[in-house]
Structure 1
Amino acid sequence: MLNYIWSGLIIGSLLFALTVDAQELVENRFRNETALPVALDFPDGYAPDARRQPVEIRIDSATYRDVYGVNAAPDPVYAGTLVQTQEGRKVEFDPDADLPEPLATIQSFHATDDNPALRGALQGTSRTAAGVGRTETALQFEPVRFRKLNDIAQAALNFAETAASLALSLIGVLGLMLGLVKIGEEAGLIESLTGIVQPILSPLFPNVPDDHPALANISLNLLANVFGLGNAATPLGIKAMEDLQELNPSDEKASDDMVMLLALNTSSVQLVPPSLLVAIMGLQINQLFFSITLATLCSTVAGILGTLALHRLPYFRATAPHRTADAEDPDE
């Protein structure tokens, strides 16, 4: 079911992006083939052979509104630089310039890490004489097309990189924690812990036998969450889910116990703030200690009550794997 939801979200976002991009192309919102008339002031006089020289860019408000069909008005003057490139002369706005729409969108669309400034190709300066202080010209900006689709593609690449980095960072933690769990099993610690937590967790996980190691792994997962050890909680939660799946008669549906573990793991009480939040806020996190504890306590209670309530609904009771298995084999 979750795969269908994700597929629907992806398809919906692509359709939305295509609709917006098509509308922008039909309306020609960014005036891709139209140059913007401007006046350039040269504080040091126009130098035809200079590779870079400072300029002041003046845009008439009425002209700007007529060209782009917007109500926004540009500033009277912008600082910039006239740059000689292989493609010809271009005017480069100051990277920190407060540009109105749609120039701000054009800037962000073509911005790079090396050059975040808005650039426009200079039109008609070949007749400008050297030493002139001002010239009337026009700027042709690079076209903007399929903006939303580009945003989606860039976001997909960024999150793919994030997912790969996260997966690699978890390898060491997974190996360490699963190794410790294995050592605990061999040393009998897991069995001892199971006996301790069994009276507490059994009411929440009624289908787990009293001596099953799943109870110990569940308790370790919850303790890791309580003390803010998110990375350590992940492998322990995976191990606990694997143990619960061994008790699950269905390979396609999650059991009631698996749903309860997911609810507890997601809404776990946290007595110690998450390590990521501590890294971001430092000692200021102490101001949120009681708020975090109270909020996570309420979320845990809500998660438990919500899960128990859903378990009692006729539809979920009829489709629960354990109840389905019992109905198919009444002798057990």
Structure 2
Amino acid sequence: MLNYIWAGLIIVSLVFALASDVGDIVRDTYRNADPLPVRIEFERPFDAEAPRQAARLVVDPIAFRQFYGVTDGAPEAAYEATLRATADGTPELVLTEDATLPAPLDVIRDATNPRDNILQGTLQNVTISGDGTAATGGLQFAPVRFVKMGAITTAAIDFAEVAVTIAIGLIGVLVLFLGLSKIAEDAGIIHALVKLVRPVLRPLFPDIPPDHPAMGMIALNLAANVFGLGNAATPFGIKAMEELQTLNPEPDTATDSMAMLLALNTASVQLIPPITLIAILGIETNNVYFPILFTTIGSLIVAILAAKGLSKLRRYRATNPNRDGRTVPAVVSTDSEG
């Protein structure tokens, strides 16, 4: 179901992006065919033979707003730039990297030169002053079209790469902690843990038979979350869901116990802040410790009440795989009992 939701969101975002980009083309938001009126000031008199010269770009705020049809934002008093000649001899003005630009110049820069993060354009109808220290003309930028579609496409590719990186990084973590959980199960530690946590977790998971390994995995998962060990919580949570699935008479429908486990994971109490947060904030983590603690306690209470309350509604009771006491017989290995 989530796959369909994500696919729907992507399609909707693409439709809105396309509509917005078409609107920009119709309104000629970026003035692709018209040069922006500018003034160029030179530190030294203009030399037509020089391959490049230091310059300052000056854009009149009133002319800028009229040209782009905007009411907010204005260019700075001047921008440091370099005047150079292209391969065909056309004068080209290149602003310094990361210059602070108003909209839509910042969008033009990001769309035409995202890697170098510089704004550049060719000069047209240039008129040099008598002393050669200034010039006027028009600055023509590369055409800009389908900005939002390009941004969505780029973001999709970038986050796909991030997803693969995260997935590969989790392989080692999953192997390590799933291996440890198997050792603990074979050594009887899980069975002992089940007996220890049964009085606490039994009211939350009444459908789980006594001494079932799922209870131990749930305890390990919740403990890892409580102590801020997110990487350890993931494999334990997966293993707990696998154990709960063995009790599910309808494998394609989540049971109340599965829903409760998901709710507890989503709103787990954080007695110890996550390691990532400590690495980022350092000692400043103390300033957010109690807000995190109280917030997660509140969210945990709400999650438990919501899961319990919804499970009592007729609509959800009718789809509960364990309705009328139906369940898959629990099979507990003799190894874990020893």
TM-score (norm 2): 0.91
Contact 1:260 1:307 in 2 (8 A): yes
What is residue 161 of structure 1 aligned with on the other side? 161
**CA deviation after TM superposition for structure 1 residue 189, in Å:** 0.7
The superposition leaves residues 158-216 of structure 1 with CA deviations (integer Å, 9 ceiling, x where unpaired) of 11111111111111110110010111111111111111111211111111111110000
**Secondary structure, in 3 states, of the residue corresponding to 2:19?**
helix
Contact 1:47 1:131 in 2 (8 A): no
Q: Does 1:89 align with 2:91?
A: yes
> 2:70 and 2:136 mapped to 1: Cα distance?
22
What is residue 24 of structure 2 aligned with on the other side? 24
> 2:232 and 2:49 mapped to 1: Cα distance?
63
Contact 2:31 2:68 in 1 (8 A): yes
Q: 1:325 to 1:110 in 2, by over 3 A?
A: farther
**Secondary structure, in 3 states, of the residue corresponding to 2:246?**
helix
- Write the letter of the residue equivalent to 2:38: V
**CA deviation after TM superposition for structure 1 residue 122, in Å:** 1.6
Contact 2:128 2:136 in 1 (8 A): no
**Secondary structure, in 3 states, of the residue corresponding to 1:171?**
helix
**Secondary structure, in 3 states, of the residue corresponding to 1:166?**
helix
- Write the letter of the residue equivalent to 1:94: T
> 2:303 and 2:214 mapped to 1: Cα distance?
20
**Secondary structure, in 3 states, of the residue corresponding to 1:319?**
coil
Contact 1:213 1:243 in 2 (8 A): yes
What is residue 114 of structure 2 aligned with on the other side? 112
**Secondary structure, in 3 states, of the residue corresponding to 1:321?**
coil
What is residue 332 of structure 2 aligned with on the other side? none
What is residue 123 of structure 1 aligned with on the other side? 124
**CA deviation after TM superposition for structure 1 residue 118, in Å:** 0.8
What is residue 144 of structure 1 aligned with on the other side? 144
**Secondary structure, in 3 states, of the residue corresponding to 1:172?**
helix
The superposition leaves residues 147-167 of structure 1 with CA deviations (integer Å, 9 ceiling, x where unpaired) of 111111111111111111111
Which range moved further: 66-75 or 257-266? 66-75
What is residue 283 of structure 1 aligned with on the other side? 283
> 1:325 and 1:84 mapped to 2: Cα distance?
82
What is residue 330 of structure 1 aligned with on the other side? none
> 1:51 and 1:267 mapped to 2: Cα distance?
63
Which range moved further: 218-227 or 194-203? 194-203
Runs (5+) with no aligned partner, structure 1 = 328-332
**CA deviation after TM superposition for structure 1 residue 49, in Å:** 2.6
> 1:211 and 1:62 mapped to 2: Cα distance?
78
Which range moved further: 8-17 or 101-110? 101-110
Q: Does 1:3 align with 2:3?
A: yes
Identity of aligned residues (%): 47
**Secondary structure, in 3 states, of the residue corresponding to 1:247?**
coil
What is residue 194 of structure 1 aligned with on the other side? 194
**Secondary structure, in 3 states, of the residue corresponding to 1:29?**
coil
**CA deviation after TM superposition for structure 1 residue 124, in Å:** 3.7
- Write the letter of the residue equivalent to 1:99: L
**Secondary structure, in 3 states, of the residue corresponding to 1:64?**
helix
Q: 1:233 to 1:34 in 2, by over 3 A?
A: same
- Write the letter of the residue equivalent to 2:95: F
What is residue 101 of structure 1 aligned with on the other side? 103
TM-score (norm 1): 0.92
The superposition leaves residues 6-43 of structure 1 with CA deviations (integer Å, 9 ceiling, x where unpaired) of 12211111111011001001111000111112121111
**CA deviation after TM superposition for structure 1 residue 135, in Å:** 1.8
The superposition leaves residues 210-250 of structure 1 with CA deviations (integer Å, 9 ceiling, x where unpaired) of 11100000000000000000011000000000100111111
Contact 2:108 2:144 in 1 (8 A): yes
> 1:66 and 1:298 mapped to 2: Cα distance?
53
- Write the letter of the residue equivalent to 1:311: S
Contact 2:75 2:101 in 1 (8 A): yes
What is residue 203 of structure 1 aligned with on the other side? 203
> 1:96 and 1:323 mapped to 2: Cα distance?
62
What is residue 79 of structure 1 aligned with on the other side? 80
Contact 2:129 2:135 in 1 (8 A): no
- Write the letter of the residue equivalent to 1:97: A
What is residue 242 of structure 1 aligned with on the other side? 242
- Write the letter of the residue equivalent to 2:238: I
> 2:279 and 2:51 mapped to 1: Cα distance?
46
Which range moved further: 18-27 or 61-70? 61-70
**CA deviation after TM superposition for structure 1 residue 128, in Å:** 5.3
**Secondary structure, in 3 states, of the residue corresponding to 2:322?**
helix
How many residue pairs align between the two structures? 325
**CA deviation after TM superposition for structure 1 residue 137, in Å:** 1.6
> 1:48 and 1:30 mapped to 2: Cα distance?
30
Contact 2:92 2:122 in 1 (8 A): yes
Give the 5 Å matches for 1:311-322.
311-322=311-322
> 2:14 and 2:267 mapped to 1: Cα distance?
32
**Secondary structure, in 3 states, of the residue corresponding to 1:162?**
helix
> 1:61 and 1:282 mapped to 2: Cα distance?
45
- Write the letter of the residue equivalent to 2:31: R
Q: 1:4 to 1:39 in 2, by over 3 A?
A: same
What is residue 183 of structure 1 aligned with on the other side? 183
Runs (5+) with no aligned partner, structure 2 = 328-338
Give the 5 Å matches for 1:288-327.
288-323=288-323, 326=326
- Write the letter of the residue equivalent to 1:106: I
